[in-house]
Amino acid sequence: MSKLKVALVNVGFEQGEKGIIVSPPLGIMSIGAFLRQNGWEVKIFDWSGEPLDDSMRSALASFAPEIVGLTVIIGSSIIRSKAATLWVKDIGAKVVWGGPFPSALPEMCLRQSKADFVVFGEGEMTMLDLCTSIQEGEPTSEVKGIAYLEGDELKKSPPRQRVLDLNELPMPWWESILPLDKYLIPFHGRMAIPMVTSRGCPGTCTFCYTKYMWGYRWTSRSASKVVEEIEHLRRLDPRIGGAIFDDDLFAGDVERIQEFCAELNEKGLDILWNCEIRARDLKEPLVEIMKRGGCVDMLVGVETGSDRLLANVLKGVKKSDIIEAFRVIHKVGVSGVAMLMVGMPGETIEDFDDTEKLLEELKADGYYFSMFLPTPGTEFLQVAKTYGFKEPQTMEEWAVLGGYGISSYSERSLSQVPWKRVDRMIKRENRRIRNRNNWQAVRKDPTGAIYRGLLGKVGNEKD
């Protein structure tokens, strides 16, 4: 008996949605590769950043899948997933929701959409077992890692043990999303593509979703497997000269990083890359190795300059650790990007003063300011509720709330700090970075810098 057709869909976000960068749907690319390895006919549809229209509905119907899996993330993805689910039901297929949002709120998703199943946590093994169960007409109650409704009763099976060695999984199915044009990102004069090489984080940050997706265990693919994927990507698209590692924790194993950098150098792979890294992991010998291996940017989770708030969110670092991390970054000579959170519950004017003082001391090479988001399933949500946050009761309310864009500060902030002051800080730091970059351009190429200045490309203030 031939196996059922499986469609995996990333509905993504609305076209032109502010603050959204279109990235490869790496989750379903991994699931799709695993299902194909096990003999299933699979097709991936990535609609992120595109309007949901009849052409997409027709393309899905033309494939005629019997099972459709959708990745659902907080934000407009929820509304788009509900719409796509109705398309799937019209063709008589089973609908499976997976990803961070349904993993945290499976009952809400099942009761407020037409989804048949929710997969919580890691998806490869669960989707294989679920598809097999549906194919063979066996009870889905035996499948671990899912939730579904039986009549009006919620059924939730035991959680599935995670894949401890990610080398056991095939490489993400990059061929399924060719051409790669919409995923390429300008990066230090090159084109880079987002990648993921590990899962999870042992950290205890109260605002992070990783605990309910992956638990507290960090797992990874080996250095050689990561290099193999980079080589594969460059064969698929020779324009690729950089990698943006979107791991929640890239530097979970110092030895893996050392092996990765050594293999890149041994093979003569001219790749520039960046990654997120915890302040307490930034030791000078490691940073030097990473720089020699092509790392040009290190993104450090600063969040706030208040030791009180850092302790409240169980960050595991103090302001002194962050200062030392940036000292090392500047000494070795890579770029340090500070990631901060605005609108945090319980933030006082004094806390914000501390943040401004810290930024002045760090002199980071770049900043990423995100709006606090009390993600369902996290302790941060419970903390936010003590400061007056009203937890959404519908998927539509979560869709409106979702996203990290700071433009919603006035509506969502649980901080005592007024938006005008936050906005002033952000503009000041961005202006400082622009001015420094302009000055560095003048020092490097005085004649060219003057020419660009005459064209209005240097020191152009818009604040």
Q: What are phi and psi of 337, to 5 degrees?
A: -110, 125
Which 8-state DSSP code applies to residue 115? -
Structure tokens at 21: 């960068």
Lowest mean pLDDT among 31-45, 64-78, 339-353, 377-391: 377-391
Element containing residue 291 per DSSP (H, E)? helix 284-292
Q: What average pLDDT does range 432-444 have in this prediction?
A: 72
Tens-digit pLDDT profile for residues 22-63: 899 999 999 999 999 999 999 999 999 899 999 999 999 999
The pLDDT value given to residue 179: 96
Binned at pLDDT 50, 70 and 90, residue 183 comes out as very high
The pLDDT value given to residue 16: 66
Cis peptide before 179, with omega less than 30 degrees from 0? yes
pLDDT at 459 > cutoff 50: no
pLDDT at 124 > cutoff 90: yes
Amino acid (1-letter code) at residue 152: D
Distances (CA, A) of 319 to 279, 341, 345: 10, 15, 19
Q: Report how far residue 309's alpha carbon sits from residue 346's, in angstroms, rounded to the nearest whole number.
A: 8
Residues in the chain: 463
Q: Residue 175 burial (CB < 10 Å; 0-12/13-18/19+)? A: exposed
* Helical segments of 153-249, H only: 210-214, 223-236
Q: What average pLDDT does range 148-171 have in this prediction?
A: 95
Domain 179-417 fold: TIM Barrel (3.20.20)
Of 394, 442, 444, nearest to 79 (Cα)?
A: 394
CATH 3.40.50.280 fits 5-156, yes or no: yes
The pLDDT value given to residue 140: 93
Q: Report how far residue 23's alpha carbon sits from residue 11's, in angstroms, rounded to the nearest whole number.
A: 12
Tens-digit pLDDT profile for residues 286-336: 999 999 999 999 999 999 999 999 999 988 899 999 999 999 999 999 999
Instruction: Return the residue matching tokens 């994927």.
Output: 229
Binned at pLDDT 50, 70 and 90, residue 3 comes out as confident
Contact by Cβ (8 Å): 121, 162: yes
Q: What average pLDDT does range 231-257 have in this prediction?
A: 95
Contact by Cβ (8 Å): 106, 118: yes
First-last CA distance in the chain = 65
Where are the chain's structural domains? Answer: 5-156, 179-417
The pLDDT value given to residue 18: 61
Contact by Cβ (8 Å): 183, 194: yes
